[in-house]
């Protein structure tokens, strides 16, 4: 019987799966960062949502890794005082997208 890790390693050999996995991992990391910042600031979801002019449900979904539009993400980041920046790898052999 394969372990989860073994199964995942096998799936990651396929380009399409690896790309989707990478996107979901990045989304999960962003979601966790938003949640951690909000909690560190001692703010409730309702408080941040009101300041960002989004619904509490939208914020909850964002914090739980649901895909959201860029506008919602930026509104929440601004409400939390979070700087959004993009990093470009130094050596890119082919476009990521």
Give the pLDDT of residue 61.
95
Choice between 2 and 27, residue whose per-residue pLDDT is larger: 27
**Domain residue ranges of the chain, discontinuous segments joined by +:** 4-80
- Residue 97 carries which DSSP code? -
From 1.10.260.40, 3.40.47.10, 3.90.1010.10, 3.40.50.970, which CATH number describes the 4-80 domain? 1.10.260.40
Give me the mean pLDDT over the 52-68 stretch. 94
Give me the mean pLDDT over the 12-28 stretch. 84
pTM for this model (two decimals): 0.75
CA angle centred on 23, ends 21 and 57, rounded to 5°? 115
Instruction: Name the most confidently modeled range: 4-8, 18-22, 57-61.
Output: 57-61
Any residues with CB less than 8 A from the CB of 60 and at least 6 apart, and which? Answer: 45
Choice between 1 and 44, residue whose per-residue pLDDT is larger: 44
Q: Is the confidence at residue 50, as pLDDT, over 70?
A: yes
């Amino acid at each position: 019987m394969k372990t989860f890790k073994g199964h995942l390693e096998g799936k990651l050999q396929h380009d399409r799966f690896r790309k989707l996995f990478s996107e979901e991992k990045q989304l999960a990391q962003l979601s966790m960062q938003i949640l951690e910042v909000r909690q560190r600031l001692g703010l409730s979801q309702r408080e941040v949502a009101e300041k960002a002019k989004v619904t509490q449900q939208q914020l909850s979904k964002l914090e739980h890794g649901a895909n959201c539009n860029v506008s919602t993400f930026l509104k929440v980041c601004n409400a939390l005082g979070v700087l959004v920046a993009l990093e470009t790898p130094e050596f890119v052999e082919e476009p990521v997208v």
